[in-house]
Structure 1
Amino acid sequence: MTLDVLDELTLARLGRVEVWVSLYWDEPYNTDGEFTLEVRPTEENLSLLREGRWLRRADSDVPMRICHRSNENADSNLVVTGFPGTWIFTKRACTAIVKNENAEQAMRRLVSAMQPWPKLELGELVGFDTTYTAQTSGGSIMDYLMTIGAACDLGFRVRLAGKNADKKLLFEVYRPTADPNNRFSTKWGNLQQAAWAFGDSDYANVAVVQGAGEGENRATVTVGLTDATGADRRELYVDARDVQPDEEKGETSRSEAYLERLMARGTNKLLEQLRTGSIELTIDAEGLSPGDVAFCTIPELGYKATVRVADVITQSQSDSTTRTVRLGTPVWRKLRR
C-alpha cells in the first residue's frame, strides 16, 4: 500500500509516500471519517505533506484532505491528520429547507447549489426512491447530508475520478445492496476480537414539542410513534421556544405551517435518540466496504442483527496492516430458542 499526494487545486500527483511509522485511515458510510499519518520528518516529507493537499491510497479512490500537521521538535515524527473529501461540505453553509423530498435528489441539490469548490462535480444520479419525510434546515451542507443519510439509509462520499488533467472530485450518493454471503458469527469463528455495546437509556420514540406562547396557550405538538403505550413508549420533551411564528407571513402559534415546523423539530430530535448498538470486529483484507450489509449473530447474547458497515478502519504499523469494520446501529431482535 502506498499513498499518492495530490495538489489541492489541480489534483495532479506531486509525489508518493511509501514508508511511514503508522497510518490510521477511517473511511465512513454517512458520517465524518478521519486519518492520521505519522512519518519521519525528512526534508521530502515536510515539503510534500502540506495542508490542503490530498492523500489517495493506491487501493482506494476515496481521497483524504490534509488539514493539520505537527512536529514538536527536530527529533519528533511528523504527524499529519485530515478527513475524507466530504470535509468540503463542513465549509459550506446553507439555509434551505428540505422536507418531503426525494432524499438522493435533495442531497444532490444541496451540493449543486452551494458555492463551487475546485474540481468538485456531481456524480451520476442512481435513482433511489427513498423520501426524506421529516424537515431540516440551517447548518453546514455536511449537517444536512448526515441528517438525510441517517434517516434514509443512504451513504455519501467524494470520489476521485478521471486521469491527468481530467481528474475531478465526484459527489456520490450510494447504498450497496445486501450480499447474503456477508454472514458473521462468533460460533463460526469469522467474528473475532469483537467489541460490542448496546443500550437504550437515551432512546425515545415520542417527542412532545412546545413553541411560542405561555401556559395553556403555548403551542404544543406530539410526533413519533404516538400510538405506542406502556414500556414501549419513550417520551422526550423538546423546548422549541426559539422557533417562533413568522409574523411577516401572517403566522400565529396556531397556524398549520408553524405547527409543522415544530413537528419537524421534534422529528429531528428523535433521530438523535436512537437505541445505541455497535460492534467492532477484525476481518481479512478482502472483507466488507462502507455501506455493505452484514448479517451478524452473537449466540451468547441471544441476539442477531442485520446492519450496514458504518466505517472501515485500516491501520498500518511495523510492516503489518489490519482492517477493522465498525458496524452501525442495528435493529436488534432476540434469537428464537
Structure 2
Amino acid sequence: MSSPPGYAKTAVAQVADDAPPTADAPRRVIPQRHPLRWVAAAVVAVLVAMALNALITNPFFQWDRFGYWFTRPVVLQGLWITIKVTFAAAVLGFLGALVLAVARLSSNPLLRAVSWTYTWLFRSIPLIVILLFLVNFGALYKTISLGVPFGPEFFRFDESRLATDLALAIIGLSLAEAAYGSEVVRAGILSVDQGQHEAAAALGLPKSYQFRKIVLPQALRSIVPNFVNQLIGLIKASSLVFYVSLLDLFGQVQTLGSTYPGDIIPLLLVATVWYVILTSVLSVVQFYVERHYARGAVRTLPPTPLQRLRAFLGRKAVAA
C-alpha cells in the first residue's frame, strides 16, 4: 500500500525536529537578561506615581481655580503678547546673529572688531538692564536724527512717538538675542568642512552663492539645535518685559495675583503650563526642521511620530 503524497517528507521533518541539534544546526539566540533595569523602571514608576498623586490630590494647588483662569481672556491676551514679542525678537535676533557671525568671520579687521565688541558688550549686560536702559532712552535723547556725523541731518523724528512699550521690548530682546545667537551661527559655519569651501571656490561660484546654497544649509544642521535652545531661553526671558510696563503672560499673572491673592498658586500654575506648551510646540518645530536639513547627511531619516504610530499599528495587526 503506497503512502499518500508528502507523508514521507512530513515524517522525516518531524523526526528532524525531535532530534537533538547537531554542531551545524542553527541555535536559538537567548537575549541577555537585565533584571536591574526592571528594578530601576519599577522604582521610577513608583516615584512618578507618588509625584502625580501629590500634585493632583493636594488641595493647595486649587485645580478648580486653575481651570477657571487657564483660558480667561485676560490671560490669553498676555499670552498673545508673549508670542508676538518672542516671534519678532527671534526673527530679528537671528538676522542680527547672522550678520554678526559673517562680520566676525570676515577678512576685514574693522568688521571683525565691531562684531566682537558688540557680542562682548551685550553678552556682558543683563537683559533687564538693557530693557530698563531702553525705557529711559527718551530721557537721554529727545529726538533721533539720521545724517552725516558732525554735518547736516537728513531725517529727525521724536523717539517717544515710535518707541512704544511693545517696540522697546522687541528691540531689547533682539539686541541680546543677536549677541548670543552670533556665537551659535559662527560655530555652525565653522563646522562646515573646509573642503566644501574649497570645492565651491574651485567651481568659480560667487561668494554670496557659496554661502547661501552650500555653506549655510550645511551649517544649519548644527545651528538649529543650539539656536532652539536660545529661543526656549528667549520665551522665558520675555517675562522680563513686565518690568518695562508691558503686560505679557507673566505680567498678567502677576497683576491678577495682586488683585486675587488667594489665587496666586493657581495663577502661577497657569503661567507654567502655558510656558511648557510654548516650549513643547517649539520642540516639535525643531524636530521637523532638523529632519529637513538632515536629508543627504544621514542614510535614513528619523521617523515622524505619525510614521512610528503607523509602524506600531502595523506590527500589532501582523501579530494578531
Report the TM-score range of the alignment, normalised by the length of the smaller protein: under 0.3
TM-score using structure 2 length: 0.23
Where relative contact order (Cα < 8 A, 6+ residues apart) is larger, the structure is 2
- In our comparison, the structure showing a higher alpha carbon Rg is 2
The answer to which structure has the higher helix fraction is 2
What TM-score, normalized by structure 1, do the two folds share?
A: 0.22
* More strand per residue: 1
